Amino acid sequence: MNDTKTKTMSLEAQHDIAEAFQGKVHAYVPVISPSDFYGIGVAVANESGYMPISAWHYSANTYEEASREADRLNSEILGMSPDEALRIICSTM
């Protein structure tokens, strides 16, 4: 049996991040950590790079798991489509 249940970010962490990025157009992005785990970062539209989220708030065992959680946060919390999130992420490069 293949368990594809994705670990989710806590509501407290979501609140802290929302507060930190209030007033900025942003999207969640899956990232690879140099410490051998996968995580999530926040990309702010038209700003270079991204802000990594502490592993205390979220970490995953696979890139796919982190990607599913970033997609969920973008959709459910930020109310954006995958294309909208991708435009924001691309604007940071």
In the prediction, which pLDDT does 3 show? Answer: 47
Contacts of 55 (CB under 8 A, 6+ apart): 33, 35, 37, 39
Mean pLDDT over 37-58 rounds to 93
Q: What global pTM score does this model have?
A: 0.87
The yes-or-no verdict on residue 60 having pLDDT over 60 is: yes
pLDDT at 36 over 90: no
The answer to whether the CB of 37 falls within 8 A of the CB of 60 is: yes
5 pLDDT above the threshold of 80 = no
Predicted confidence (pLDDT) per residue in 46-55, tens digit: 999 999 998 8
> ∠15-83-24 over CA atoms, to 5°?
40
